[in-house]
A and B are shown apart, each in its own frame.
Chain A
Amino acid sequence: MPLLALDTSADICVSLVADPRPGPWLASTLGTLASRRVVEQRRHAELLAPMIEEVLGEAEVDRRDLTAVVVGTGPAPFTGLRAGLVTARTLALALGVPVHGVCSLEAVAAQALTDLDAAAEVLVVTDARRRELYAARYRRRDPATPRGELPEVVALDGPLVDSAVALQERGAAQGATVVGAGAALHPEHLAGDPEVVVDPAVLAVLALRRAERGESMPTEPLYLRRPDVTPSAGRKRVSG
């Protein structure tokens, strides 16, 4: 039986993942049955539903056989993030299955840490627009997790939103490997591997494990910014 995992924190991506997954927790056997990714900063709400239908069709999976919906909770620009979260929540409601939320940056971190040393730390950075980055620093939760196995991660800093300069000045990346699409944006301040992006299958594996441990996985959005609002100014006169 498969579960559906999706993320709209940057690209729009959807995967059908075997549940339970085959074999051990190896990154190479995440059990992806079908997946779609569109590199697009807008139109999340337009493209997501058709992409879900496509992966179901490609894997010849009946929607009623889905066991859960997993969604990346950001941090991310607001409108796209909400499209993913409301899609996941209402789809799960329609299917009568649980919905699990996982921080999108954790998926990137787990993927990057899989092939790094036991004590390695990663700083995940993604595009927060407005010349800022979303950032969070992680290490393996259990240093004994063997290399090549997708580790559970623990956050040491963040997630937060700040400029690359500010992150550099406070030494956010000191001693850490920088990964994530944000690494390509301000290489003079934060350089790293921008090719590591959210894989919905990683979200799915993290969620399945956490579900086994009985952890609750709310789908609250990580906006990290307040809405832009200016309290209304006093009224202006119309007559001179």
Chain B
Amino acid sequence: MPDASLVLGIETSCDETGVALARIHDDRTELLVDAVASSVDEHARFGGIIPEIASRAHLEAMVPTIQRALGEADVDLGQVGAVAVTAGPGLVGPLTVGAAAAKALAVGLGVPLHGVNHVIGHAAVDEMVHGLFPERVMALVVSGGHSSLLLVDDVATDVTELGHTLDDAAGEAFDKVGRLLGLPYPGGPHIDRLAREGDPGAIRFPRGLTAAKDQARHADDFSFSGLKTAVARWVEARQDAGQEIPLHDVAASFAAAVADVLTAKTIAACRRHEVDTLVIGGGFSANSQLRELATRRCAEAGITVRIPPIRYCTDNGAMIAALGAAVVRRGLPASPLDLAVDSSMPLTQVTV
């Protein structure tokens, strides 16, 4: 028999096939299992995600990943009380595979379907790690595809997008700088590793949209494209002069610039909106410079910072199960079975 408190979440917005099970308790949402299959290795030689390759991998991984999740949690599929799925934003081909699978499960099990927002899932996953959100939280979601500042009054019904990146996402900038430094794709983890041994103050790279003139229109927005170009120019000038590139210092100075902008703007937004809890999520929140600086500056500002462990920051089913659980907990209506995936789903839209 279906158990209304048991939510299965499916995530396929990019290159990870994620399936997770969440249990709704009165005072918390419990993660029972989080199974992920990734096609990232198949994309590495192309220097970026190839949507068709990812889509094919999702199709092949879907049933095995569902079965693995059920097996590890020792749950029978018939016990699942609701199915949540990423409806967007993301890559259309991959999203379509997950949505079709979720619909088939909902039809086959006779349970409600909930299409939810991937980016808000990156924040919601922390409810399974650090407990249900207080009344109002700020969420900074940073990944290869997104850098967004969200004011979360209710994670299932009331999210306001305060700002976002005007060009590259933070993780995207890392991957691009990784490429210009000759590092393997994805560049983020490699830069992070190099940066830990470099001097973050060695090179003063620009901080995008932090000038006084940008405060009126772009106080809560980000821009990393100019920073990426500044790094490229600096490296090229050195190369042209026949000098060696101090990889550790370039990585550390670049990473410091990104972490500085993200944390400074986010904390300023917390102050402006009188929010004392900050949640950081998304694949880029695995970045150690960001984690360290956010932790230090939030402590100084008296803000409680919640950053889930790295395994919950990357794309996974847990974030979708967590947001699905929040939706079910509030008794919101199910999504229609003809729901369409939306590659550019607005961040103010939590559910479909």
Interface positions of A (Cβ within 8 A of B):
43-50, 52-53, 63, 78-79, 82-83, 85-96, 221, 223, 227-232, 235, 237-239
Assess the A93–B67 pair: CB atoms within 8 A. yes
Assess the B59–A93 pair: CB atoms within 8 A. no
- CB of A70 to closest CB in B, whole Å: 14
In the bound complex, CA of A135 to CA of B99 (Å) = 30
Q: Is B275 an interface residue (CB 8 A)?
A: no
- CB of A47 to closest CB in B, whole Å: 6
The 10 A-B pairs with the shortest beta carbon distances in the complex, nearest first, are A94-B108, A232-B47, A227-B52, A49-B103, A90-B104, A91-B104, A238-B232, A45-B100, A87-B104, A83-B100
- CB of A15 to closest CB in B, whole Å: 16
* Across-interface contacts of B100 in A (CB, < 8 A): 44-45, 48-49, 82-83, 86-87, 90
Which one of B192-200, B264-272, B276-284, B336-344 is at the interface? B336-344
* Across-interface contacts of B232 in A (CB, < 8 A): 237-239
Residue of A nearest to B236 (CB): A239
In the bound complex, CA of A145 to CA of B240 (Å) = 78
**A227 in complex: contacting residue of B50, B63, B233, B340, CB < 8 Å:** B50
Assess the A231–B46 pair: CB atoms within 8 A. yes
* Across-interface contacts of B237 in A (CB, < 8 A): 239
With contacts A46-B339, A231-B46, A239-B233 taken as known, whether A82 is within 8 angstroms of B55 at the C-beta atoms is yes
Residue of B nearest to A92 (CB): B108
1/0 contact trace for B321-351 toward A, CB 8 Å? 0000000000000000111110000000000
With contacts A79-B93, A83-B100, A86-B97 taken as known, whether A93 is within 8 angstroms of B180 at the C-beta atoms is no
Interface residues of B in 71-116 (CB under 8 A from A): 77, 92-93, 96-97, 99-101, 103-110
Assess the B338–A46 pair: CB atoms within 8 A. yes
Assess the A82–B107 pair: CB atoms within 8 A. no
Interface positions of B (Cβ within 8 A of A):
45-48, 50, 52-53, 55-56, 58-59, 62-63, 66-67, 77, 92-93, 96-97, 99-101, 103-110, 179-180, 229, 232-233, 236-237, 337-341
- CB of B338 to closest CB in A, whole Å: 5
In the bound complex, CA of A209 to CA of B58 (Å) = 30
Residue of A nearest to B55 (CB): A82
Assess the B236–A237 pair: CB atoms within 8 A. yes
Residue of A nearest to B45 (CB): A231
* Across-interface contacts of A90 in B (CB, < 8 A): 62-63, 66, 100-101, 104-105, 108
* Across-interface contacts of A92 in B (CB, < 8 A): 108
**B179 in complex: contacting residue of A79, A96, A229, A235, CB < 8 Å:** A235
* Across-interface contacts of B107 in A (CB, < 8 A): 49, 52-53, 63, 91, 94
Assess the B59–A82 pair: CB atoms within 8 A. yes
- CB of A137 to closest CB in B, whole Å: 27
With contacts A47-B338, A227-B52, A238-B232 taken as known, whether A94 is within 8 angstroms of B62 at the C-beta atoms is no
In the bound complex, CA of A223 to CA of B48 (Å) = 22
- CB of A225 to closest CB in B, whole Å: 9
Task: Write 7 A-B pairs (CB below 8 A) sorted by A numbering.
Answer: A49-B100, A82-B93, A85-B59, A86-B97, A90-B66, A93-B108, A229-B53
Q: Which of B107, B237, B339 is most buried by chain A, counting CB atoms within 10 A of its CB?
A: B107
* Across-interface contacts of A221 in B (CB, < 8 A): 56, 59
Assess the B96–A82 pair: CB atoms within 8 A. yes
* Across-interface contacts of B58 in A (CB, < 8 A): 82, 86
* Across-interface contacts of B55 in A (CB, < 8 A): 78-79, 82
Residue of B nearest to A88 (CB): B104
**B337 in complex: contacting residue of A49, A89, A223, A232, CB < 8 Å:** A49
Assess the B233–A238 pair: CB atoms within 8 A. yes
Assess the B341–A94 pair: CB atoms within 8 A. no
* Across-interface contacts of B56 in A (CB, < 8 A): 78, 82, 221, 223, 227
With contacts A89-B63, A94-B77 taken as known, whether A238 is within 8 angstroms of B236 at the C-beta atoms is yes
* Across-interface contacts of B340 in A (CB, < 8 A): 43, 45-46
**B110 in complex: contacting residue of A63, A83, A231, CB < 8 Å:** A63
Residue of B nearest to A87 (CB): B104
* Across-interface contacts of A44 in B (CB, < 8 A): 100
Assess the A82–B236 pair: CB atoms within 8 A. no
* Across-interface contacts of A91 in B (CB, < 8 A): 104-105, 107-108
- CB of A104 to closest CB in B, whole Å: 16
Assess the B63–A93 pair: CB atoms within 8 A. yes
In the bound complex, CA of A239 to CA of B338 (Å) = 50
* Across-interface contacts of B62 in A (CB, < 8 A): 86, 89-90
* Across-interface contacts of B52 in A (CB, < 8 A): 78, 227-229
With contacts A78-B55, A221-B59 taken as known, whether A86 is within 8 angstroms of B46 at the C-beta atoms is no
Residue of A nearest to B110 (CB): A63
Assess the B93–A94 pair: CB atoms within 8 A. no
* Across-interface contacts of B105 in A (CB, < 8 A): 90-91, 93-94
- CB of A187 to closest CB in B, whole Å: 31
